[in-house]
Amino acid sequence: MSRLKKWLLGLCFLLLAVALWVVFSPMPQGIPVLEYHEVAESVDEDAYVYNVPPEEFRQQLDYLQQQGYTTISMLDFMKAKRGKMELPAKPIILTFDDGYEDNYTDLLPILEEYGMKATVYVITNEIGQPGYLNWEQLRDMQDRGIEIGSHTANHDPLTGMDAARQLDEVHLSKLLLEWNGIYTVYTFSYPNGAYDASLPALLAQNEYLTAVTGDAGLNTFETDPYLMQRVNIPHPRFGLLEFKLRLLKAEVFTKLRIHQHLENPS
């Protein structure tokens, strides 16, 4: 056998071993944080890629229920981490970035129908603009069990911004929400998923407890609470199968300890 053949055979065995290990060893016990944007029947073309149509969203929620998942908020996760709350057997967190108006008109009724919780991250300078949530809707959503988080004031990536502006984006967006009747804002979502090593400390100084990235993976109490990983759920092109594969990908990435730092334009 030539050296090349031996090498290829070895590689095949290695790949087979990895595949068997992924398939047969128990999947990691981690909490998925799903990353959505819009749930609406019709959206403009720019938003299409981030929109999950209501029918497909319902199929996803049906699947999560069948799998025994119970939705929790980011604050529930932090309470449980500090031993102040018991988590359900299979917790999952649903998050929605940017604060689109359809989160109120289309998403909220579906969540209520399923008895599920969610966290909505709003861009405070967009509040009340066409296509975005207004203050009344935000307060009503909060009264109906939705957790509101900050996605900064202007949605500019925080990386590469000077420290004074970073502070404004992080601090003023939180204050504005709280001044307008939103409960203490504990949770934050990095615009475009862009973060650097200094940002967790800045968020902690500004009394945030958690932040979500766009990095793929699941979360445990050992995960840095300011670098929570998510499972991105864009417009599905392959139906429910794609949703299942995206959840599986996060499990596999967690298991293989692959850290995929993604920056997306959302």
Smaller CB separation from Zn ion, 214 or 225: 214
Residue 244 CB, nearest approach to Zn ion (Å)? 25
Could you give the C-alpha distances from 169 to 123, 135, 151, 173, in angstroms and in order? 10, 19, 9, 6
Question: Under the criterion CB under 5 A, does residue 266 sit at the interface with Zn ion?
Answer: yes
Positions in 134-153 near Zn ion (CB under 5 A): none
**φ/ψ (deg, to 5) at 264:** -120, 160
**Residues 22, 35 contacting (CB under 8 angstroms):** no
> Kindly report the CA angle at 104 between 103 and 106, in degrees rounded to 5?
70
Stretch that binds Zn ion, among 59-67, 171-179, 194-202, 258-266 (CB under 5 A): 258-266
Where does this chain touch Zn ion (CB under 5 A) — which range of 19-27, 90-98, 168-176, 240-248? Answer: 90-98
d(CA 105, CA 117) in angstroms, rounded, equals 16
Q: How far is the CB of 266 from Zn ion (least distance, A)?
A: 5
Segment near Zn ion (CB under 5 A); pick from 58-66, 93-101, 160-168, 203-211:
93-101
Helix (H), strand (E) at residue 142: helix 135-143
C-alpha–C-alpha distance, residues 77 and 36, integer Å:
19
Binder among 97, 106, 126, 251 for Zn ion (CB under 5 A): 97
| Cβ–Cβ < 8 Å for 64, 3 | no
Given 35, 38, 98, 102, the residue binding Zn ion (CB under 5 A): 98
User: Interacting stretch for Zn ion, rule CB under 5 A, among 27-35, 98-106, 213-221, 235-243?
Assistant: 98-106
CB of residue 191 vs Zn ion: minimum separation in angstroms?
5
CA distance 162 to 139: 32
Nearer to Zn ion, 67 or 129 (CB): 129
Q: Determine the Cα–Cα distance for residues 164 and 141; give it in Å rounded to an integer.
A: 32
DSSP letter assigned to residue 179: H
Q: Which is nearer to Zn ion, 28 or 131 (CB)?
A: 131
Query: Which residue, 72 or 120, is less far from Zn ion as judged by CB?
Result: 120
Q: Residue 116 Cβ, how far from Zn ion at the closest point, in Å?
A: 21
For binding to Zn ion (CB under 5 A), which residues are involved?
97-98, 266
